[in-house]
Amino acid sequence: MDKQKLKDNIDCIMEEVGILNKLDHPNIVKYYETYDDQKYIYLVMEYIHGYQLFEMITAQENQTFTEETAAGYMKSLFQAINHCHAQNIIHRDIKPENIMITKDNGSVRLIDFGLSKASKNKQLTTVAGTPYYMAPEVLEGSYGSKADIWSLGVLLYTLVSGYLPFQGGNSHEVFRKIKEAEFHFNHPEFKEVSAECKDLISKLLVVNQKKRLTGQQALQHPWFKNFGLDKSVIVKNGEKKVVSDPISDEVLERLRQFKGVSTFKKAAMNLLVKTLNEDEVADLRAQFQAID
């Protein structure tokens, strides 16, 4: 990036770099390094061979997704946003254009942290984001991490129906509907959507932040378990019990060993992992998801 063209935006770029440097999750675009000379700033980031989720939604042949596909994407996004919130980072611009799907294995990457803010126990006041995905409290000018959860609710509604939940003839009407959480399931597409999915949407698009689900609570919702996203199911006395594959002892032992190694060795191991291809890290990714 040319410093002359960036001018006053250099500080914004470096703030985004600082945020990305705190994040390390399989479903978040990976930042590696920043290089700087007199004329340019070079950002080295993960190359995502894939396409925007927006492209999938708007494609003629993909106006809607199966619930199983939608559940897989949403589970990854909730895990990604939970990681952000654990680092006290609010994304503030969750929308289909900021979600990439890899072509090789269909995994999710949350991208574009240009509007993200680090905020610990402090309400943000700047109205930021994309209007259709903004939470009511963002429009009111006082919000926290739950604003991202609302945006994920809007995204889920769109994924399973192809419609935005809050539409209107002008911005005033759209904002009014958002502030009142005025949406419906009357579109014909919702006849094929499960009651569990609609229940989850209803618990995400809640005006009262205290009553809105957290990311962790959302992941425990029956919708995710009903669509076969967990590793195995044990049936006992006619009841289903979902059981995830246990984390291997070898992985846990490596984590214990890694905790005590030198900074130099950690850097060397980090470099080694960065040179692996997607197939080689698939098992590591699965183990991380189990831990996550």
Q: What CATH number should be reported for the domain holding residue 218? A: 1.10.510.10
CA distance 63 to 161: 8
Helix residue ranges, H only, 128-235: 136-140, 146-161, 171-179, 195-204, 215-219, 222-226
Most confident of 43-52, 97-106, 192-201, 269-278: 192-201
3-class SS of residue 69: helix
79 & 219 share domain: yes
3-class SS of residue 159: helix
Using a pLDDT cut of 70, give the percent of the chain over it. 74
271 & 137 share domain: no
- pLDDT of 22-38, one tens digit each? 999 999 999 888 888 88
Determine the average pLDDT of the residues in 171-184. Answer: 95
Q: Band of the pLDDT at 65, cuts 50, 70, 90?
A: low
Q: What is the pLDDT of residue 247?
A: 47
Please check whether residue 194 lies inside any domain of the structure: yes
134 & 219 share domain: yes
Please check whether residue 244 lies inside any domain of the structure: no
86 & 213 share domain: yes
CA distance 258 to 15: 29
Higher pLDDT, 236 or 122: 122
**Residue in 11, 36, 37, 93 annotated catalytic:** 93
98 & 11 share domain: no
Structural domain including 262 reads 249-291
CA distance 110 to 91: 9
Please check whether residue 30 lies inside any domain of the structure: yes
Please check whether residue 242 lies inside any domain of the structure: no
74 & 138 share domain: yes
210 & 135 share domain: yes
Q: What is the pLDDT of residue 278?
A: 61
Higher pLDDT, 89 or 242: 89
Please check whether residue 240 lies inside any domain of the structure: no
72 & 169 share domain: yes
Please check whether residue 243 lies inside any domain of the structure: no
Domain closes at, from 29, 45, 61: 45
CA distance 162 to 64: 5
Q: What is the pLDDT of residue 104?
A: 82
221 & 275 share domain: no
Q: What is the pLDDT of residue 2?
A: 82
Please check whether residue 128 lies inside any domain of the structure: yes
Q: What is the pLDDT of residue 266?
A: 56
191 & 264 share domain: no
Q: What is the pLDDT of residue 185?
A: 96
For residue 64, give both structure tokens: 């809607």
State the pTM of this model.
Answer: 0.78
Please check whether residue 15 lies inside any domain of the structure: yes
List beta partners, residue 99: 110
- pLDDT of 82-126, one tens digit each? 999 999 999 999 999 999 999 888 899 999 998 999 988 789 999
130 & 32 share domain: no
Q: How many CB atoms lie within 10 A of CB 228?
A: 12
Higher pLDDT, 53 or 227: 53
Query: Residue 98 carries which DSSP code?
Result: G
Active site (annotated) includes residue 283: no
Total structural domains in the chain? 3
Q: What is the pLDDT of residue 234?
A: 44
Q: What is the pLDDT of residue 13?
A: 85
Q: What is the pLDDT of residue 186?
A: 94
Whether the per-residue pLDDT at 74 is higher than 90: the answer is: yes
109 & 253 share domain: no
